[in-house]
Amino acid sequence: MNIREEDRRLVLYNDNNPFIGEITWLQTENILIVDHTFVEPEFGGQGYARQLVNALVKKAQNENLKLLPVCSYAKRVLIEPEYANLLKQ
């Protein structure tokens, strides 16, 4: 698996390069507004959406950014206590 950043989104590909899923955001100053998480239906239930959220968390940490999830999936994941310091209040 390979996650690449491409124009305000992280995209997950497998070794053969087919698209598996993506997480997208809008950025305002130091805030990433997470607006969409998608995984192709045939790859659902395998933890790929979580991998995308985790990759975006790492990006936010590395770049000293806050996260504001508006996507329903990202909201469910990022409500966990371990992410509290990254969330825009």
Domain of residue 43: give its range: 2-70
pLDDT of residue 44: 94
- The answer as to whether 59 is a domain residue is yes
- Structure token pair of residue 37: 């998480």
As a whole number of angstroms, the distance between CA 25 and CA 56 comes to: 9
Q: How far apart are CA 29 and CA 21, in angstroms?
A: 26
Per-residue pLDDT of 13-59, as tens digits, reads 998 879 999 999 999 999 999 999 999 999 999 999 999 999 999 99
Residue 86 lies in a domain: no
Q: Is the pLDDT of residue 62 over 80?
A: yes
Quick check: is 13 in a domain?
yes
Greatest alpha-carbon pair distance for the chain in Å reads 40
Based on the structure, what is the number of domains in the chain?
1
Q: Establish if 54 belongs to a structural domain.
A: yes
- pTM to 2 decimal places: 0.93
pLDDT of 15 reads: 86
d(CA 83, CA 67): 9
Domain harbouring 31, CATH code: 3.40.630.30
CB environment 10-23: b (16+ within 10 A), e (fewer): bbbeeeeeeebbbb
